[in-house]
Structure 1
Amino acid sequence: MPYDTPKLAEAARQVEICNACRYCEGYCAVFPAMFKERSFASGDLTQLANLCHNCRGCYYACQYIEPHEFGLNLPAALAEARQESWERFAWPAAPARLFQRSGVAMACALVLGIACLFWIAANLTPASGEGFYSVLSHGTMVAIFLPAFVLPLAAVGIGLRRYWREVGGARVRWKHLVAAAQSAATMRNLSGGQDQGCNFEDEDRFSNTRRYAHQAVMWGFLLCFASTSSGTILHYGFGMEAPYGLFSLPKLLGVPGGILLTLGSAMLIYLKLKADPELGASSALGAEMAFVMLLALTGVTGLLLYAATGTSFVPGLLAIHLGAVLVFFISTPYSKMAHGFYRMAALVRDAQIR
C-alpha cells in the first residue's frame, strides 16, 4: 500500500519482515502490537513508532541486520518515523522543523531568553519583596510565564488530536489511562520488556541504567512541578510568599526534584554519547542532546539559586534559571519533550487494542 513518506515506507518494509519472523515476540510492547496486524497502514506504523522506546534489544538479537540483504535496523527506522511524526503533528509546523533539526537553535533560544530576562530585570519598574522577588517582581514573572506555559500546552493538545486521529484512537476509558500510567511510571518498555534491561549503551550487554536515568528525570521533573504548584497555592491561597524555608513544602519537593533532574539528565547525556547514533534518529541527535542539556541546566541553576540565597549571585543565577525554564516551556511542543505526550498517547492506544 502507498505510504505518506519514504520513512514510513521503510518502516513498513522492516516491520513486515519482523512480523513474518517473530523471533522478538517476548520483547517490548511494539512486538505484541505488531503481531496483531496482517498489514500496516500509515497510522499503524505511527503508533508502533511512538510505542518504541529505542531500547535496541531487537537489533542485537536480529539475524537480518547488515550484512544480510534485508539490512534491518528497526530501532533506527522507527526512530526516524517517530521523529517525523512529531514534526507532522506539531502546530505550527515551522518551529517543529527548526527544533528537531538543530540543537543550535535551542541554544540560541536559550541565550535570547536569558538576555530578555536580564533586560526585563534591569529596565522594568523596581521590584519589591524578598528573595528573588527583590530582583524580578511576582507580577512580572506571572506575565512572562503564564502565556509561556499555557500556549505551548494548547499547541501540544492540537498535536495530540492529530496523532489520535491518525492512529485511529477510540474513546478513552479510565482503565486505559491506568494501564498507560502504570507502564509509564515503571518504564517497563525501557528494559525491552525484560527485567534484565536493554542494550542502549553497550551493544549486547544488558543494563537498566537508561531506565533508571529516565525515571530520575521523570520523577525529578514531576517533583519540581509539584514544588512550583505548591508555592502557587501557598502564595494565592494562604498569602505565604517566597522565599520559603528548607522544611517548607516547596523546598521539600523542589530540592530532591532538582537533584534527581540534574543527576538523571547528566546520566542521559553520558549514555547518549556512549550509544551508537546509527540506531536512532541520527539527524535529530543534536536537538535531543540540547534538550537534555537544557533539563540539566534547569536543575543545576535551580539548586544553585537556592544555595545562593541572600548573596550577590542571586540576580545572575535567577536570570539564567528563568531563561532555561522559559525556553523549556516555549520549546515543549517542538523539542524532545513532546515525546512524553505522544508516548503516553501511544500507551493509551496500546491499552485499547490489547
Structure 2
Amino acid sequence: MQIDLIQEARRQAEICNACRYCEGYCSVFPALHRERAFADGDITQLANLCHNCRGCYYACQYTAPHEFDLNLPKALAEVRRDSWESFAWPQPVARKFHTHGGAIALMSVLGFAVLFLAIRAIGSAGGEGFYAALSHNAMVAIFLPALIFPLVSLAMSLRRYWQSVGGTVIRLRDIASALGDAAKMKDLAAGHGDGCNFEDEDRFTHARRYAHQAIMYGFLLCFAATSTGTILHYLFDMPAPYPLWSLPKLFGLPGGILLTVGCGWMAALKLRSDRTLGDAGAWGGDFGFIALLGFIGLSGLALYVLGGTAAMSMLLALHLGAVLSFFLLTPFTKMAHGFYRLAALIRNAQQK
C-alpha cells in the first residue's frame, strides 16, 4: 500500500480524534475514537467503513484555509481505493480499472458481444427463447468459469484485508449486526437522521442512501431470478423461457427496474457532487462501473420487451457481454466495495 496515503490519513485521524465534534456522524467516528494511536491496519479499516457522505467535511472547522487542511473524506477515499488495489488478485488489473474504468468496461462489453455473435454464427444455438440464439450448454460453458473466477479472486483479496485489519474469528452475531447495518444503509442516514449532504453543503437528503438501496436490492433480485431459473431448469426440468408469473420473472422484472433506476440516480448524484471530496483518481472507474451495472439492468428489460423481435440476437449478445464483463471485472471495480464494506462492518462489530 502507498505509505504517503496512509500517513496523511493518519495525520487527519489523529486531529479528528482530538476534536471529536463529529462523534455521532457515522460508524467511522466511534471506531476512530476507540483508538489512541493508529496502525496501518486501523487506517485501512476506517477507510473501508467510510461511505464518503462528506458530512464531516462540511461540519469541520479545520478544513482549508485552516493550517490543518483537513479533508477526511478524500483521505479515506484514497486509502480505500489503494487498499482494494493492493489486496486485489491479480493486482495490476485493479490499478488499471480504477484509472481507465469506463474504457475497459466499454471495450469488454463490445468484445464479448462480438464473441457471442460469433459463437451463434458457427452454430451454437438450438431451443426456445434466448436459447434459439445461444444454446444453454454454450452459456454454461462460458459463464460457469466466469462466476468461479471472481469468487476465488475476492476470497483471496478479503483474506488479505482481514489479516491487515487484525480480524479475529467471526461470530454469527457479528455477521447479523453487519448485515443489518448494510441492509438499512445506516451510515448514509447520518447520525442526525436527515441523510447526508453528498451533493451540496446545505442540502441534506436520503437520495444517495435510497439510490444505493435500489442498486443493492435490484442486484439481489436479479441474482434471485437467475438462481430460481437455475433451480427450475436442473431440479424440476423446466427450462426457460418462463411465463410472467414465474419466480424468475417476478424477481427479475422489479430487480431490473430497481437496478436501472438506481444506477441512473447514482450517476446523476455523482455528477453533481464535488470531486475534490473523494478520490478523483478513481472517478472514471466508479462511473464506468455504474454505467456497466445500469446497462445490465436496462438491456435485460429491453430483452423482456423485444425478446420476440428480430433485435433479440443483438440485444442478447450485448446483455450477455455486459454480464460477462461484470463477472470478470467484479474483483477490480466498485462492486468489490460491497464485500470490503461488509467485512469492515463485521470487524467493527467485533471491536464494539
Match of 1:171 among 169, 172, 191: 169
Pair 200,327 (structure 1): closer, same or farther in 2 beyond 3 Å = same
Aligned to 1:109: 108
Aligned to 1:216: 214
Aligned to 1:60: 58
**AA matched with 2:218:** G
- Residue by residue over 1:79-133, the C-alpha shift from the partner in whole angstroms, topping out at 9 and shown as x without a partner, is 000000000000011111111111222222222122222222212x341110000
Aligned to 1:302: 300
- The structural deviation recorded for 1:194 is 3.2
Aligned to 1:21: 19
Structure 2 runs not aligned, ≥5 long: none
Q: Secondary structure at the match of 2:23?
A: coil
**AA matched with 1:111:** L
Task: Tell me the distance in 1 between the aligned counterparts of 2:99 and 2:243.
Answer: 42
Aligned to 1:133: 131
Aligned to 2:98: 100
- The structural deviation recorded for 1:223 is 0.1
**AA matched with 2:309:** T
Task: Tell me the distance in 2 between the aligned counterparts of 1:335 and 1:121.
Answer: 29
What is the TM-score of this pair, normalised by structure 2? 0.98
**Conserved 8 A contact 1:4-1:42:** no
- The structural deviation recorded for 1:296 is 0.7
Q: Secondary structure at the match of 1:306?
A: helix
**AA matched with 1:293:** A
Q: Secondary structure at the match of 1:241?
A: coil
Task: Tell me the distance in 2 between the aligned counterparts of 1:193 and 1:349.
Answer: 20
**AA matched with 1:108:** M
Task: Tell me the distance in 1 between the aligned counterparts of 2:148 and 2:192.
Answer: 38
Aligned to 2:117: 118
Within 5 Å, which residues of 2 pair with 1:334-345?
Answer: 334-345=332-343
**Conserved 8 A contact 2:199-2:272:** yes
Aligned to 2:180: 182
**AA matched with 2:74:** A
**Conserved 8 A contact 1:180-1:344:** yes
Point out 4+ residue stretches in structure 1 off by more than 6 angstroms: none
Task: Tell me the distance in 2 between the aligned counterparts of 1:250 and 1:201.
Answer: 36
RMSD: 0.9
**Conserved 8 A contact 2:108-2:321:** no
- The structural deviation recorded for 1:247 is 0.4
**AA matched with 2:61:** Q
**Conserved 8 A contact 1:213-1:268:** yes
**AA matched with 1:200:** F
**Conserved 8 A contact 1:29-1:193:** no
Aligned to 2:330: 332
- The structural deviation recorded for 1:4 is 5.5
**Conserved 8 A contact 1:176-1:352:** yes
**AA matched with 1:70:** F
Structure 1 runs not aligned, ≥5 long: none
- Residue by residue over 1:183-226, the C-alpha shift from the partner in whole angstroms, topping out at 9 and shown as x without a partner, is 00000111223310001012231110000000000000000000
**AA matched with 1:63:** Q
- Residue by residue over 1:56-99, the C-alpha shift from the partner in whole angstroms, topping out at 9 and shown as x without a partner, is 00000000000001100000000000000000000011111111
- Residue by residue over 1:152-209, the C-alpha shift from the partner in whole angstroms, topping out at 9 and shown as x without a partner, is 1100000000000000000000000000000000001112233100010122311100
Match of 2:160 among 159, 162, 169: 162
Aligned to 2:78: 80
Task: Tell me the distance in 2 between the aligned counterparts of 1:251 and 1:138.
Answer: 18
Task: Tell me the distance in 2 between the aligned counterparts of 1:5 and 1:118.
Answer: 47
- The structural deviation recorded for 1:50 is 0.1
Aligned residues: 351
- The structural deviation recorded for 1:309 is 2.3
Task: Tell me the distance in 2 between the aligned counterparts of 1:86 and 1:201.
Answer: 25
Give me the identity figure in percent. Answer: 58
